[in-house]
Structure 1
Amino acid sequence: MLILEHRFAHIPQEGRRGRAWLASLPPLYEGRLTDGATVSLNASLRYYHLGDIVVAVEDGPAQVIERTPHIVSTQALDHLVLRTHASGRAQVTTNARTAEAAPGDLLLIDLARPISIAMPPVVGVAVVVPRRLLANGRGASGLPSRHVLAADRDPLIRLLAGHLIHLADVLAAATEAQVAELVPATVALCRAIDTSGGPAASGSAESARDAASPTVLAVRRYIEEHLDRVDIPALMKHFGLSRRSLYRLFEGTGGVQACIRDCRLAFAMRALRQSPTARRPKLARLAHDCGIGDPRVFSRAFRRRYGMSPTEVEPGSTPALPHRPDTGLLGWLRTL
């Protein structure tokens, strides 16, 4: 377990404390304090890297945090955040639509899409989970498309929100053996919140572990190295697997076809953000290189995943943020 922590009690000046808090929000967010807000001496922001997930624990001021289109396009993260808080009401804005989250509700934040959250002084807990660990048998994340999950509508939401609050208390003194059990349990609870409203997917904790198995990781590496021509028969032949065995490896994490699609779109995002403006790849060429022959199909899939068209991705290999791109928290997230 790795820990990254920001504390502010050593900064006596109120103005400097506020600036230090805002400097701690990147790379995930840009932020500003709301009018008249101050950062208390007890404010803190702590991240726990637990292997497959990252947990954030925050005791913060009244503020507005944002994932801007620039941050989204330059980082190309494909993770979801589930966040809850103990007091106050937060305003969540996406695509000019605003929803309100009460204490105990869950905020569902897609790091591949822009979002703005205005919140009062809160003690909040969040878990960052790779989308592949939350995928259901239909080949996509089963989590609802709305960004506020109301606790008064679903006991599962109350269960997960309570779990996150108590998880924050436990992690400060948890052993490595305890963390090894807590991580798949936490992922399983996240997966239990399904659009169908039905019971939790069976084998969730087992699926969370399977997603990091050596065979699955080897298949993913092969897919990434052969994007332009990889398909199911090629994977079966290379790894000596039957179709049923191959599908079973990925059945708890969205399916092998979804894995191929996601790897192709991630490749396209990296190519776009790392290309100078004057040398941006042609859409048809990029679609061909990542194995999606029809540019229109490629554009639709890209927009569904990242919330923007390929032509809207800003060039530049790193975000204009005060952290190096692959160190600290961002480095952790890239390894999930």
Structure 2
Amino acid sequence: MSVVLSTAPLSASERADSWQDAVSRALVPLDVVLHEDASAAGTIVSRQVGFMRVTTVTAGPQTVTRSPRTIAKGGKETLALTLLHRGIAERSQDGRNAVVHPGQFSLSDSRRPFSESLRQAFSLTSFQFPRSALGVTDLELQAVTATSFGEDEALSALLAGHLKRLDRSAGSVPAAQADRLATVTCDLLACLIQERQGRMTPQEPAAVQAMLLRVKEYILRHLADPGLSLAAIASAHHMSLRYLHKLFESEGVTAARWIQQQRLECCRKELARPTSHAPTVAMVAQSWGFANSSHFSRVFRHAYGISPREYQAAARGRLG
């Protein structure tokens, strides 16, 4: 569900205070200075994708600051990956400054002061997630805040493309799939950060890891398609089946098994979801790409030690 905030119904004189409150509630507590005498209307659209908050902001010229005073006000400790659509942003944090252009993205950490100046009308999307979701050290993180990333390198181009697709589909991502797409986003960012720090191991060079993440993203977007096959995945990425299998060797699981695990987890979440009309086991299995409900029941029991029907009944019993 999208949450939409707009200052359009307010007079120009009322917009400044209202806008600061709206921005601080949608993102983190911030000081906002508007750079127009008659403030333009602004809109904020927020959507939840698993543990990640996706917020699109469209407004007139302004500067936002995360000062020690606003940090003291609290708010969740989050990282924000900001993709700029329109305008030019000047971002500062950790003693570094970056100019961000449309199509580029940058990273900020709410635990430390930062500022962002937008001197013309702009539109951006912020992807916010907990610090704990990113498996990098604080030193690695501080080395890339207020850095402009674009499509001039393989990994940053891959992440930029993923962010654009996620931004377009954030409002319609199935709940059972949302956490995995959020995890893919964090994995891609961690991969990019570690590449910048030179920590990619010889066994997992950046290009290989980036391709694996790209394949996983593709699988997750097509997980509900019963026609999803290894051949189709390989063809979509212009690779051989042999290379596809090799990509998953580092995961300690075959590609087919990884797909099955993702489908099973989506089904498990679907079966446990509180609804007034519980879907049948067959409906859940079919909605996540299992063509045969008997086969689904067998692999579900093998994975979770309980049949899907028993799991659904137990979950609804706990909710009741």
**TM-score, reference length from structure 2:** 0.54
Q: CA deviation at 1:124?
A: 0.6
Report % sequence identity.
21
Q: CA deviation at 1:204?
A: 7.6
Equivalences, count? 199
Tell me if the contact between 2:99 and 2:148 (Cα under 8 Å) persists in the aligned partners.
Answer: no
Aligned-partner Cα distance in 2 for 1:23–1:182: 30
Aligned-partner Cα distance in 1 for 2:210–2:134: 10
* Structure 1 unaligned spans of 5+: 206-336
* Structure 2 unaligned spans of 5+: 201-205, 215-320
The equivalent of 1:83 in structure 2 is 82
The equivalent of 1:233 in structure 2 is none
Q: CA deviation at 1:37?
A: 6.1
Deviation digits for residues 161-194 of structure 1, max 9, x if unmatched?
3322332221223332342442222222222212
Quickly say closer, same or farther: Cα 1:30–1:195, change in 2 above 3 A. Answer: same
The equivalent of 2:134 in structure 1 is 134
Letter of the 1:20 partner, please give it: S
Query: What does residue range 67-216 of structure 1 map to in structure 2 within 5 Å?
Result: 67-75=66-74, 77-94=76-93, 97-119=96-118, 120-136=120-136, 139-140=137-138, 142-143=140-141, 144-197=143-196, 198=200, 199=206, 200=209
Tell me if the contact between 1:106 and 1:149 (Cα under 8 Å) persists in the aligned partners.
Answer: yes
Does structure 1 residue 54 correspond to structure 2 residue 56?
A: no
Tell me if the contact between 1:134 and 1:142 (Cα under 8 Å) persists in the aligned partners.
Answer: no
Letter of the 1:121 partner, please give it: A
Aligned-partner Cα distance in 1 for 2:75–2:7: 30
Tell me if the contact between 1:142 and 1:191 (Cα under 8 Å) persists in the aligned partners.
Answer: no
Aligned-partner Cα distance in 1 for 2:211–2:72: 34
Q: CA deviation at 1:98?
A: 3.1
Aligned-partner Cα distance in 1 for 2:139–2:95: 23
Letter of the 1:156 partner, please give it: L
Letter of the 1:99 partner, please give it: A
Tell me if the contact between 1:191 and 1:204 (Cα under 8 Å) persists in the aligned partners.
Answer: no
Tell me if the contact between 2:46 and 2:54 (Cα under 8 Å) persists in the aligned partners.
Answer: yes
Aligned-partner Cα distance in 2 for 1:174–1:188: 18
Quickly say closer, same or farther: Cα 1:184–1:141, change in 2 above 3 A. Answer: farther
Quickly say closer, same or farther: Cα 1:76–1:170, change in 2 above 3 A. Answer: closer
Quickly say closer, same or farther: Cα 1:72–1:176, change in 2 above 3 A. Answer: same
Aligned-partner Cα distance in 2 for 1:194–1:103: 21
The DSSP-based 3-state class of the residue aligned with 1:132 is helix
Q: CA deviation at 1:3?
A: 4.2
Aligned-partner Cα distance in 2 for 1:22–1:110: 19
Tell me if the contact between 2:86 and 2:102 (Cα under 8 Å) persists in the aligned partners.
Answer: yes
Letter of the 2:35 partner, please give it: T
The equivalent of 1:267 in structure 2 is none
Computing the radius of gyration over CA atoms, which structure comes out larger, 1 or 2?
A: 2
Q: CA deviation at 1:142?
A: 4.5
Quickly say closer, same or farther: Cα 1:140–1:96, change in 2 above 3 A. Answer: closer
**TM-score, reference length from structure 1:** 0.52
Letter of the 2:18 partner, please give it: A
CA RMSD of aligned residues (A): 2.9
Q: CA deviation at 1:68?
A: 0.8
Aligned-partner Cα distance in 1 for 2:130–2:163: 17
Tell me if the contact between 2:34 and 2:62 (Cα under 8 Å) persists in the aligned partners.
Answer: yes
Deviation digits for residues 209-262 of structure 1, max 9, x if unmatched?
xxxxxxxxxxxxxxxxxxxxxxxxxxxxxxxxxxxxxxxxxxxxxxxxxxxxxx
Tell me if the contact between 1:134 and 1:141 (Cα under 8 Å) persists in the aligned partners.
Answer: no
Quickly say closer, same or farther: Cα 1:96–1:142, change in 2 above 3 A. Answer: closer
Quickly say closer, same or farther: Cα 1:33–1:57, change in 2 above 3 A. Answer: same
Aligned-partner Cα distance in 2 for 1:141–1:203: 26
Letter of the 2:56 partner, please give it: V
Letter of the 1:176 partner, please give it: A
Aligned-partner Cα distance in 1 for 2:46–2:156: 22
The equivalent of 2:34 in structure 1 is 33
Q: Report runs of 4+ in structure 1 exceeding 6 Å deviation.
A: 201-205
The DSSP-based 3-state class of the residue aligned with 2:193 is coil
Q: CA deviation at 1:89?
A: 1.4
Moved more, 90-99 or 43-52: 90-99
Aligned-partner Cα distance in 2 for 1:73–1:116: 16
The DSSP-based 3-state class of the residue aligned with 1:59 is strand
Deviation digits for residues 119-167 of structure 1, max 9, x if unmatched?
132111111122222124xx55744434123315423223323322332
Aligned-partner Cα distance in 2 for 1:76–1:180: 22
Quickly say closer, same or farther: Cα 1:74–1:61, change in 2 above 3 A. Answer: same
